[in-house]
A = this chain, B = another copy of it.
Amino acid sequence: MLTIKDIAKQLGVSVSTVSRALNNHPDIREETKQEVLEAMKRFNYTPNALARSLIQRKSNTVGLMIPDITDPFFSAMAHDVEEVLSENGYQVVYVNTSRRPDKEKRFLNSVMERKMDGIIVTPDFLDDDAKELLQRLNIPVVFLRRRPPEELNMPFVDVNHYEGACRAMDYLFSLGHRQIGFIGMPRYSFTGQERYRGYMDSLKKQGITPAPRGISWNGRTIECGYKAMERLREELPDMTAVFAANDLLGVGALEYTARNGVAVPDQISIIGFDNLEVTDLHWIKLTTVAQPRKEMGRKAAELLMQMMTDNLLTADSITLETQLIVRNTCSGIAR
């Protein structure tokens, strides 16, 4: 490996001079600089970023910690995070935690060791150890698609799940529906809770007493949606619409109707949440609530950039709005 020293020797100048040329320092004669630069090109010299980082206390690296890159949500966000960060000269180290607490902590530790300049995280577990680690990092941290605990004075970028759910419900109300079932994600999930809250509050605002039998808690998969729909149809025969807390559940519900000869939207309306790509498929055309997933990644990266350049450990959070996507699975009630 060629070093700055080799270049200096070749040219009969000092390493300081070479360094100055490399760093575009003003204190160097233009000619000297050109000579040095040319020699570097000639010898295929590449600066050692490690040495540089060590002395400058800046690694130009940021960490991205997500549960699962395989989830279209996270991959969309990861895409944009990388895009804006790499444009700004940062490299991004990514980690799938697979929702494992030990892996989350391991990553946080390597963030310290590697002297990363900032991180974007979507943790699933945040015990006291992890919180302390996060605090001790002493670098900008932004939470993505999740809110940080109160004690951690760190910004987040997330969507307003609650309002999104209200939007879905209001649309259903506007079509005349009153008996609306709910297919939920696992109870412990943050987004699941928020969307449920939107469902409940909307109902109450309309003076409708939620029917406990009209609420089904499940997993987050198509199969879960299928089963939930089956149950709901039995439990609540006069139900005219269903709000599925995510699209996979919605697609599952739709599959149930398709297989069992239930006409959608004529006999029952279905609305989802997320606007996954599949929902736009010809056979599906699920009406749903969209989240700006790419924008979330972009905003998170921009926020982090700002914090890193301004040397801020906190900043204002960003809450993005959802959008109703009307397709073919909801219609007015005809009675």
Contact = CB atoms under 8 A, between A and B. Distances in A.
A76 B95 CA distance: 13
B115 A96 contact: no
B82 A69 contact: yes
Contacts of A113: 46-49
Contact of A114 (B91, B115, B283): B91
A70 B75 contact: yes
Contacts of A53: 50
A114 B82 contact: no
Contacts of A72: 70, 72, 75
B46 A109 contact: yes
Contacts of A110: 49, 91
A284 interface: yes
A172 interface: no
Interface in A72-90: 72, 75-76, 78-79, 82-83, 86
Contacts of A78: 69, 94
A243 B82 CA distance: 36
Contacts of A93: 61, 91-94
A51 to B, nearest CB: 6
Nearest to A278: B278
B75 A69 contact: yes
B136 A49 contact: no
Given A86-B103, A92-B94, A282-B255, A115 B49 contact: yes
Interface string A110-147: 10111100000000000000000000100000000000
Contacts of A334: none
Interface in A135-192: 136
Contacts of A91: 93, 95, 110, 114
Contacts of A258: 282-283
Contact of A281 (B76, B92, B259, B278): B278
Contacts of A281: 222, 251, 255, 278, 281, 283-284
A41 to B, nearest CB: 13
A79 B68 contact: yes
Contacts of A136: 44
A2 B117 CA distance: 17
Contact of A86 (B82, B95, B114): B95
A92 B59 CA distance: 15
A81 to B, nearest CB: 10
Interface string A263-306: 00000000000000010011110000000000000000000000
Interface string A245-263: 0000001000100110000
Contact of A48 (B51, B54, B76, B103): B54
Given A69-B79, A76-B70, A50 B59 contact: yes
Contacts of A76: 70
